[in-house]
Chains A and B, each alone.
Chain A
């Protein structure tokens, strides 16, 4: 029998190589600033950040599955718990809590207790429409899509906009059945 899936990502995080969070934070800040200069429109920047996150998500899921010892989740509830407790911990060193489930268990919220992306950040008046951490929505969407779940991820609360927490809403649109026969690797 395979070993049980971990309930938290602590052990994984303790055993992987890590870097200073400030290098990560400041590099992310440099990216956002470049996008703002290039695109000159916060909506476009939101879109580009989400796209970058998506690109990361479809690659990150491989590493996640390889190192976390997590296998197929039985339902979306378990998926959300795994993202919050294992995924966030493993990559960002923080955990999230899962709340606000809807009646049919397809929509929930991930509330970030700590967010390493936003240290040293304050949104100027000209950037009020910016979802500074929008890369995270893309990462989750991309990662879940790779494991056959189409989702929609959006921000509900954002401390940079004056809210009291960071809250991401994750909505399961559909489970894509796995294609058979599987494509051969060429």
Chain B
């Protein structure tokens, strides 16, 4: 029958218009939620490395979706195919959307060709966290490292991404550095001449 009943407006999530991403929630709502994420994962593991891995996994899921979303919304359906392009996309666009600011710095490692670092003086997820002494080098930044890995991996640049505290002179709190170690993504033509031949 035609015209009977109201059809469900949006049957599929993909049919919905893409939001412009201007909505906000309170920082504490996020902080409360994030702390539950950490506490829950703490009950599931028996060592720090495992806890960081699980936080990274959670972040990875976020990163994969952020890449898709932002490629559509901010980059006119285009995705970066060069390593430096995608790294600066993470450093500027992704950071700006997720954390409201561009990351403090993006640097290339001096010792290894394939290492890059994104540093942040006060990483959002570490803001309300103080790591107890017996948890050693544990860093909640693992979640953000996961986001970065999720973005890179899904853009075709597999990498190992880790978060580290770096003490800063004259500052009470250390900054967080996200260390990105690439294994030469398939699409990284500008750095790897041999793959052009394929």
Contacts and interface: CB of A to CB of B under 8 A. Distances in A.
Residue among B32, B41, B66 facing the most chain A CB atoms (10 A cut-off): B32
B172 interface: no
A134 to B, nearest CB: 13
B36 A20 contact: no
Contact of B21 (A20, A30, A92): A20
Contacts of A91: 25-26, 28-29
B12 A122 contact: yes
Given A19-B30, A91-B26, A120-B65, A31 B98 contact: no
Contacts, number: 114
Given A13-B26, A18-B25, A116-B25, A30 B13 contact: no
A42 B56 CA distance: 23
A154 B12 CA distance: 26
Given A28-B33, A30-B61, A120-B65, A20 B28 contact: no
B32 A30 contact: no
Q: Chain B CB within 10 Å — which of A20, A30, A34, A56 has the most?
A: A30
Given A20-B100, A29-B65, A116-B23, 11 more contacts: A20-B24, A21-B23, A23-B30, A24-B29, A26-B62, A33-B58, A33-B61, A34-B54, A90-B26, A135-B33, A162-B8
Interface of A: 13, 16-24, 26-31, 33-35, 38, 48, 52, 55-56, 59-60, 63, 90-93, 116, 119-122, 135, 162
